[in-house]
A and B are shown apart, each in its own frame.
Chain A
Amino acid sequence: MSDATVLNLVLYLPVLGALALPAIPVRREDLTRALALAVMGLQFLLTAYLYARFDPAVAGLQFETRLPWIPSWGVSYQIGLDGFNVLLVLLTAFLGPLVVAGAFTAIRKDVKLFHAMVLLLQFTMLGTFLAQDLFLFYLFWEAMLIPMFLIIGVWGGERRVYATVKFVLYTAFGSILMLGAVIYLAYAAHAGSGVSSFAFADLYRTTLPVPAQTVLLAAFALSFAIKVPMVPFHTWLPDAHVEAPTAGSVILAGVLLKMGTYGFLKLGFPLFPDATRLFTPAIMTLSVVSILYGAGLALVQTDIKRVIAYSSISHLGYVMLGLVSADLLGIQGAILQMVSHGLTAGGLFLLVGMIYERCHTRELAAYGGLARILPVYSVFFMILTLAAIGLPTTSGFTGEFLVLLGAFSAAWQQYELGAVQPLALSGAAVLGVVLGALYMLRLAGRLLFGEARVPHQPVVDLALREKLVLGAIVAGVFALGLYPQEPLRKSELAARQYQELLARGVGAGGPARAPEARPPRPAGQTAGKTP
């Protein structure tokens, strides 16, 4: 079996699993869970195999499949791994089995439907990352809404219907404008080159006039910024997170939010380099506002889940900051930060879910001194808290540090050219790190230490299943913190390609930014500096 076939298998395994589910009798919930877990586990193993086989020295797509799908429009079924998506695909496949295992006891209603939806969601998320054709990308991007709509709406909390409708209406509004932009982009590319194609590779090669780029990037950026979410478009996120079941929150924070930043990385910025240059100050400002605003709000929440939800807004602000810096370190840091946030936020949501399952409340004030009552739980909570803060040796550190390094080096260049704003914004972003330490330590301090208090006695510490799930995440966190060289190497060529794509365009080489002017550093050096 060729590696391309394996990649297709990875993509379609969840669908096959979901199609097999109806054959299981309704009463055999254990069998349903086992099947879903087996599918997810197999999928992760195959992805890990592909990750190992992924050659960092090859630029462009690997394990590619390309078949004509709608030939008259130039739409093809094209998937493949490259430096942009390889880490995110691995993250998605890694979180898959953990989500299923984490929901063993939490989901008791409509078990089959739940697992079918989780599997389909997995399929659409992987499809979004793997798609190398704009039409296919949009298809997966939009289809993702359906399973998420049901997951939040059926198994969520009190106000689940409100939250899920809000989530879908917000994201769909961005998507509908993006659809217009997709159609127009394909049309303009066709008018420009005479070849009708939706393939990313072909679209990268077309350069549109600046006004068209601006309008199109605005549409794409709105859709992605809602998904990330960046600050003025973030209001759906706290509701969705709070009302979603644990599995939903984990997927939402772990993978779904990365769709937005991945969209910027793979599509938004590289497709419209000139418009990106125009938008950079605004996006940079919004990123820093997101960092500070998310952190500030996380500081005052009384609901544990809301704290983590707002911290996601803050953390993804760093990712955006790294992406607009267009500095090699910043970009690689952003990619790493995406993975790291997926692990830490996913882990923290799992932890919140576990305590909620035991005590049925998420009020921070109801808890205290868990370190004495639930020691194992507390250890895991503390590790992930520190990772979220960005303590060295954890994944959070690598990502955030590289992003800030990149942002500063880009800002310094700007400063030398006379622009103060980027430097000031980068400085403000550092403040976010401090705020981050504040709100996470406040959360952990109130929860774990002080007077021992639980709203629901007796509570039992983590079961083996829960320990395994959290152990896997913590292992991931440390692996990324201690050995970032490997993932950095795998994404390096993609980051360079991203820089090249940004540097082309009508106004390239102008006074704004010239990233290729900096001597590129080898990856080994880059990574060697970080710990």
Chain B
Amino acid sequence: MSAETVLTALLPEVLLLAGLLLLIGLEIAVPRHRGAFAVSLLAVAAAAAAAAWLSAGGSSAAPFPGHYSVGPDTFAAKAVVLALAVPVLLLARGEFPGGPFYPLLVSSLLGVCLVVSADSFLTLFLGVELMSIPVYVLVVLAFQREESAEAALKYLVLSGTASATFLLGVSLLYGGSGSLALSAFSTALGSRDVLATAGVVLVLSAFFLKAAVVPFHTWAPDAYEAASVPVTAYMAAVVKAGVLFAVLRLFALAPAERPLVDLLALLPLASMVWGNLAAMRQDGLRRLIAYSSIAHAGYLFYAFLGDGPGRFQAVTFYLLAYGLMNVLVLAALPPAGDDVARDRLERLKGLFQRQPYAAWMIAVAMLSLAGIPPFPGFVAKFLVFKNVVAAGYPVYAVLGLVGSYLGLYFYLRVIQYLFMAPPPPAEEASAAEGEGAPSRLALAATVLCLLPAILIALFPGWVIDRLGG
């Protein structure tokens, strides 16, 4: 294999790595420079464009056979993840003028790209770690609040437990098959051997924890709340996507007949129900988004009940729609004097009167997350449940739909705050002083989320066809 093919296959990663090295070099060589934002934006955007271009070109290669391979699907997935990171970066400019935020974000993205292409447990593990380690630190970076440190520690310890569980599961699978290839997982999924089943359960639990599926979800609300807004957006949109793509890689060759199907249906179902119920009681927007993301993790894992290429389409489409809308909410959130105040749902009361554009953006995102047509979240949910029904689990599909219905209430409550509630009188003075219009970059971020969302709402068929299958 020539160097050119290898470089082409690795182009998104190479661009990200170049950006990362440039960022570190800048930090060392030029004190108090202002270029970090521009460099990382350029690197991420270039990598996203490269991934999209390679996906459209349909190129596929295996530069490191057995460890790493690329194809149109993986490039499409990378393009989705990297594209989601662009508005996140725009959001971050105001909060993080420089410093370690940018190298950490870029390296975490590099990890996501590795995960998407992983072919062996080793690469997958390294990718997941590379994706997660920077995020622990990103959570702490938020305003240096005390809760941030506590939440980050919680996240770190639980995530470390997940990694350990993953390794234990992998060692069982390796012991059984003698191979580190991801196909060992698919084989184990179909077998009734106790050893293999134990390995599968351990590996799955690890990813349930990383994706915040009930009952492994407890870290998510704390971490989402403690992180600053762009980091929350990053965790909700990109890290979740990375974890789900990892699971997609694991399931790539999964046989249709699986003994563990109930585990794969019941925990996500519990996740939907609990996430949606708990979200009703939150007064903070980020905690609300956290619980909503727990519920959405449930829908996403539901897609694994389906089989074949439909699974990839459903998960990728869902992640795209869901990620765009999550970033949109956080981008449209009006800035405030302090980060805790910015988060409070009460502040959204009567927002339509003050900032109609922001109110509309949040409302659109909420309706889309609730899965109400014509917003992209609806098609995504339809796609997932269509696959579940087609795989022969209509009862699980109906239960899941009812679970998703439970979420409607709290999404509507946000819209009710935006449009129907008068601004709280005591709050008015402080709101007026702290609340400003969103910055230009935040507006650009909302546009970057909105335009693709409109595109996939109007032409879902076109997008689905682009996602292979």
Residues of A within 8 A of B (CB): 68-73, 75, 110, 113, 135, 138-140, 142-143, 145-146, 149-150, 153-154, 160-161, 165, 168-169, 172-173, 176-177, 179-180, 183-184, 186-187
B457 vs chain A, min Cβ distance (A): 10
- Contacting chain A: which of B28-36, B145-153, B230-238, B398-406? B398-406
10 A-B residue pairs with Cβ-Cβ distance under 8 Å, sorted by A, are: A70-B461, A142-B373, A161-B416, A168-B408, A168-B412, A169-B412, A176-B401, A183-B389, A183-B397, A187-B386
**In the complex the two chains form, is B465's CB within 8 Å of A72's CB?**
yes
Q: CA of A72 to CA of B420 in the docked complex: distance in angstroms? A: 41
Mark interface residues in B425-469 (1 if CB within 8 Å of A CB, else 0). 000000000000000000000000000000000001100110001
Q: Is B352 positioned at the interface, with any CB of A under 8 Å from its CB?
A: yes
Among B378-410, those with CB < 8 Å from A are 378, 382, 385-386, 389-390, 394, 397-398, 401-402, 404-405, 408-409
**In the complex the two chains form, is A149's CB within 8 Å of B412's CB?**
yes
A484 vs chain B, min Cβ distance (A): 36
Q: CA of A169 to CA of B404 in the docked complex: distance in angstroms? A: 12
**In the complex the two chains form, is B378's CB within 8 Å of A150's CB?**
no
**In the complex the two chains form, is B385's CB within 8 Å of A183's CB?**
yes
Q: CA of A75 to CA of B416 in the docked complex: distance in angstroms? A: 33
The 6 A-B residue pairs whose C-beta atoms are closest, nearest first, are A70-B461, A139-B373, A176-B405, A153-B420, A180-B398, A176-B401
Q: Is B52 positioned at the interface, with any CB of A under 8 Å from its CB?
A: no
Residues of the B chain whose Cβ atoms lie less than 8 Å from the Cβ of A73: 386, 461
Q: CA of A183 to CA of B378 in the docked complex: distance in angstroms? A: 13
Among B354-372, those with CB < 8 Å from A are 367, 372
Q: CA of A172 to CA of B390 in the docked complex: distance in angstroms? A: 24
**In the complex the two chains form, is A165's CB within 8 Å of B390's CB?**
no
Q: CA of A73 to CA of B352 in the docked complex: distance in angstroms? A: 38
**In the complex the two chains form, is B378's CB within 8 Å of A153's CB?**
no
Question: With A165-B409, A177-B398 given, is the CB distance from A183 to B386 under 8 Å?
Answer: yes
Q: Which of B352, B374, B402 has the most CB of A within 10 A?
A: B374
Residues of the A chain whose Cβ atoms lie less than 8 Å from the Cβ of B202: none
**In the complex the two chains form, is B461's CB within 8 Å of A69's CB?**
yes
Question: With A169-B408, A187-B390 given, is the CB distance from A177 to B461 under 8 Å?
Answer: no
**In the complex the two chains form, is A75's CB within 8 Å of B461's CB?**
yes
Name the contact of A146 in the complex, choosing from B367, B385, B409 (C-beta under 8 A). B367
**In the complex the two chains form, is B378's CB within 8 Å of A139's CB?**
yes
Q: Is B415 positioned at the interface, with any CB of A under 8 Å from its CB?
A: yes
A138 vs chain B, min Cβ distance (A): 7
Residues of the B chain whose Cβ atoms lie less than 8 Å from the Cβ of A75: 461
**In the complex the two chains form, is A177's CB within 8 Å of B401's CB?**
yes
Q: Is B419 positioned at the interface, with any CB of A under 8 Å from its CB?
A: yes
Residues of B within 8 A of A (CB): 352, 367, 372-374, 378, 382, 385-386, 389-390, 394, 397-398, 401-402, 404-405, 408-409, 412, 415-416, 419-420, 460-461, 464-465, 469
B388 closest partner in A (C-beta) = A183
**In the complex the two chains form, is B416's CB within 8 Å of A153's CB?**
yes
B4 vs chain A, min Cβ distance (A): 35
B465 closest partner in A (C-beta) = A72
Interface of A is mostly: helix
**In the complex the two chains form, is B419's CB within 8 Å of A150's CB?**
yes
Q: A139-B373, A142-B378 provided; 7 other pairs, C-beta below 8 A?
A: A69-B460, A71-B461, A73-B386, A139-B374, A143-B372, A169-B408, A183-B382
Name the contact of A184 in the complex, choosing from B352, B367, B389 (C-beta under 8 A). B389
Q: Which of A70, A75, A169 has the most CB of B within 10 A?
A: A70
**In the complex the two chains form, is A161's CB within 8 Å of B398's CB?**
no
B435 vs chain A, min Cβ distance (A): 20
Q: CA of A169 to CA of B389 in the docked complex: distance in angstroms? A: 24
Residues of the B chain whose Cβ atoms lie less than 8 Å from the Cβ of A135: 382
Question: With A72-B465, A172-B408 given, is the CB distance from A165 to B416 under 8 Å?
Answer: yes
Q: Which of B382, B397, B460 has the most CB of A within 10 A?
A: B382
**In the complex the two chains form, is B420's CB within 8 Å of A142's CB?**
no
A219 closest partner in B (C-beta) = B398
B72 vs chain A, min Cβ distance (A): 16
Residues of the B chain whose Cβ atoms lie less than 8 Å from the Cβ of A186: 386
Residues of the A chain whose Cβ atoms lie less than 8 Å from the Cβ of B372: 142-143, 145-146
Residues of the B chain whose Cβ atoms lie less than 8 Å from the Cβ of A138: 373
Q: CA of A71 to CA of B465 in the docked complex: distance in angstroms? A: 9
**In the complex the two chains form, is A68's CB within 8 Å of B461's CB?**
yes
B84 vs chain A, min Cβ distance (A): 23
Q: CA of A179 to CA of B381 in the docked complex: distance in angstroms? A: 10
Q: CA of A150 to CA of B378 in the docked complex: distance in angstroms? A: 20
Name the contact of B402 in the complex, choosing from A68, A168, A176 (C-beta under 8 A). A176
**In the complex the two chains form, is A72's CB within 8 Å of B419's CB?**
no
A78 vs chain B, min Cβ distance (A): 14
Q: CA of A183 to CA of B379 in the docked complex: distance in angstroms? A: 12
**In the complex the two chains form, is A113's CB within 8 Å of B352's CB?**
yes
**In the complex the two chains form, is B389's CB within 8 Å of A187's CB?**
yes
Q: CA of A172 to CA of B412 in the docked complex: distance in angstroms? A: 12
Name the contact of A143 in the complex, choosing from B373, B404, B465 (C-beta under 8 A). B373
Q: CA of A138 to CA of B385 in the docked complex: distance in angstroms? A: 15
B357 vs chain A, min Cβ distance (A): 9
Q: CA of A75 to CA of B462 in the docked complex: distance in angstroms? A: 12
Question: With A68-B461, A113-B352, A183-B385 given, is the CB distance from A165 to B412 under 8 Å?
Answer: yes
Q: Which of A135, A142, A187 has the most CB of B within 10 A?
A: A187
